[in-house]
Amino acid sequence: MIEVEVHQQLRQLLRQSPEALWPHQLTMARMVARGLRLGRSTLIQVPAGGQHRLSYLLPALMWPNPTLLCATAPVQAQILGEEIPWLQHTLQLHKPVLQKDRWPDPDFQGLLLVDPLDWLQARLRKGSSQVPTGIPLILDGAEDLEDWAYQALTVTLEASHWQQLRQLFPAEAEQLSQVQVNLSLQLLRRPLARCLLQADELVHLDAALSLVTGYPGWLPDPWDQIRWRLSSERDPVSHWIWWAETDRETGRLSLHHSPTALHDWLAPIWATQPVVIIGEALDLDRQAETYRRRLGLPDLTPLRFASGEGWPRSGGAELSLYLPRLPLPNSPLFRDHLLQELKKLIPQAQGFVVVLVSDQPLQAQVGAALAAEFGSRVRVNSPFPGEKGILVCDWPYWLHHKAGLPRPELMVIATLPFPSVEDPRVAGRVQYLQRTQQDWFRQYLLPVAAAQLQRAVAPLRQGPDSREESSSPTRWVAILDSRIIARSYGVSLLNALGPTLRVEQRSQLFV
């Protein structure tokens, strides 16, 4: 069986190359190989760092049949530049490996590397027939799968698309121009640059949509996609949202049509091929039931390697947690107490410091106050100024750039990373869950916040890198949002962090 062959080859490989050792390498490799052999879908939750890639690359290269691997461009570059040549040379593996945005040939028997967004767009595109089914899929980076799916399913209307419509319907050109102007004026009066369209704004849009849905001839994209969606849904209002982005300086308006939920769209994809979905911190639960429900995943074999498991035995840093009781973030006193705490915490750290603040006005205030205190060491959402820098950033910036930054000695979390209902996509999802009488907080906001929290602190748990001494220092996480100790859901968020040593007094820090 391929599981036995993979296990033997990998065990021999790890003996020759101990630098590739990860405590769960053999277990995960056997699980991936079993999924390929049986055509059984598998969901694997892994820690951060990419140390798990060997566990799916070796089975994919040893599996004799064609295989599809979805990974982002940076991961593909790493795989093609290092891991695959090393495995092919060391183990004399001869399976063809190709990087392309579509399946090359019906007779191709190799390993195809494709960008996840390209793959999703091809599978979700109306009338697509170029993507083969039944071929095992390995998808790495599933923590971003929801974002990729929303991108693939979102249709955007720009100014040029309105011009297309006016050229196609010259008799209604003046009416269409008036619709575009009325929408722009109303949306530019809204306080937020990104917002859901309200009923009075949708009235203007209906005039243009009635032309599109009633037209029997050819329509250019994206209007044809919109026509297909509106005509194929019995209740398009409950399954789709319209939201807008406005630029007040230029008056530019972009309209977006996005799904309220993903499971109905993705479930048919999983039914056509076995999948091995690999991601970091996907769910609070080992069975990942909430994540599977959101993505429409079928019954599959779940496996989770929690953050921090095995690392203390392999030289990882100890993670300590400081949870002071401050006013709640919605209190007018929160900002002043936050700044006071930061000015007392940061001087005690000798290395790199990260301060996570997502609220934009508060982020600017924190950045200005810390720059006045610590000078050029401080950066806001931009590259750090050295190993002892202080980076003030939002959650997306840190999660996107953490792999290329030093490992922080101190991470300060100003507020918990709950998705903001000011984001129209989040608001649309919450409204959908409310309409369907589901627990929108515990099925959506809480799992997403827990996953973000676990992914954010994951680099602090990893073993020392080449710039650090072998005896890595204690890493500190300070959470200044008192909801984590004052609310009942705080226990779930603390459990998501994994094993920690809690410190009660600031005087005990960095001792």
pLDDT above 90: percentage of residues in the chain: 68
**Nearest-angstrom CA–CA distance, 450 and 439:** 16
Q: Quick one: pLDDT band at residue 364, thresholds 50, 70, 90?
A: very high
Nearest 5°: phi and psi at 172? -105, 15
d(CA 183, CA 286): 46
**What stretch(es) of the chain map to CATH 3.40.50.300?**
2-152+263-304, 315-508
Cα 143 to the center of its chain, rounded Å = 4
Higher-pLDDT residue of 101 and 53 is: 53
Q: 232-236, 316-320, 484-488 — which one is most confidently predicted on average? A: 484-488
Higher pLDDT pick, 171 / 232: 171
pLDDT over threshold 60, residue 315: no
The pLDDT of residue 508: 63
Q: Is the pLDDT of residue 314 over 50?
A: no
For residue 124, is pLDDT > 50? yes
Q: Give pLDDT, residue 466.
A: 45
- Cis check: omega of the bond before 222, within 30 degrees of 0: yes
Cα separation, 314 vs 378, whole angstroms: 33
Report the candidate in 355, 308, 292 with the shortest Cα–Cα distance to residue 497: 308
pTM of the predicted model as reported, rounded to 2 decimal places: 0.90
| Paired strand residues for 317 | none
Q: How far apart are CA 69 and CA 90, in angstroms?
A: 21
The predicted structure's pLDDT at residue 238: 79
> Cα-Cα-Cα-Cα dihedral of 197, 198, 200, 206, to 10°?
50
* pLDDT > 70: percent of the chain: 92
Q: What pLDDT score does 423 carry? A: 93
pLDDT in tens, 263-312: 999 999 999 999 999 999 898 888 899 999 999 999 999 999 865 544 33
pLDDT at 478: 96
CATH, domain 315-508, list 1.25.40.10, 3.40.50.300, 3.40.50.20, 3.40.50.1100: 3.40.50.300
pLDDT of residue 126: 60
- 37 Cβ partners below 8 Å, 6+ apart? 1, 2, 3, 63
Q: Bridge partners of 482?
A: none
350 pLDDT above the threshold of 60:
yes
Q: How far apart are CA 393 and CA 503, in angstroms?
A: 25
Integer Cα distance of 242 and 257 in angstroms: 5
What percent of the residues of the chain are helix, what percent strand, and what percent coil, each to the nearest 5? 50, 15, 35
Is 59 buried (19+), middle (13-18) or exposed (0-12) by CB count in 10 A? Answer: buried
pLDDT score, position 312: 38
Q: How many Å apart are CA 471 and CA 469, to the nearest integer?
A: 5
Which of these ranges, 30-34, 280-284, 480-484, has the smallest mean pLDDT? Answer: 280-284
> What integer pLDDT is reported at residue 506 of this predicted model?
67
Mean pLDDT of the chain: 89
Neighbours of 97 (CB within 10 A): 19
Quote the CA–CA distance of 198 and 489 in Å, as a whole number.
32
What per-residue confidence (pLDDT) applies to 502? Answer: 85
3-state DSSP of 436-464: CCCCHHHHHHHHHHHHHHHHHHHHHHCCC
Distances (CA, A) of 167 to 162, 179, 206: 9, 15, 19
CATH 3.10.20.740 assigned to domain 2-152+263-304? The reply is: no
State the Cα–Cα distance between residues 58 and 29, nearest whole angstrom.
8
Tell me whether strands 390-393 and 378-380 are parallel, antiparallel or unpaired: parallel
Of 495, 492, 457, which Cα lies nearest the Cα of 477? Answer: 457
Which is higher by pLDDT, 465 or 344? 344
Q: Which residues pair with 89 in a beta bridge?
A: none
pLDDT digits (tens, 9 = 90+) for 233-269: 766 667 899 999 998 888 889 999 999 999 999 999 9
pLDDT at 63 over 80: yes
**Higher confidence at residue 207 or residue 80?**
80
pLDDT at position 26, please?
A: 93
**Which token pair is 144?**
């971003």
Q: Which of 45-49, 226-230, 485-489 has the lowest mean pLDDT?
A: 45-49
Give the torsion sign (CA, 146, 441, 460, 342).
Answer: positive
Average pLDDT over residues 17-37: 89
Quick one: which of 376, 320, 387, 372 has its CA closest to 342?
A: 372
Place of tokens 């080449």: 466
> Degrees (nearest 5) of the Cα angle 288, 289, 290?
95
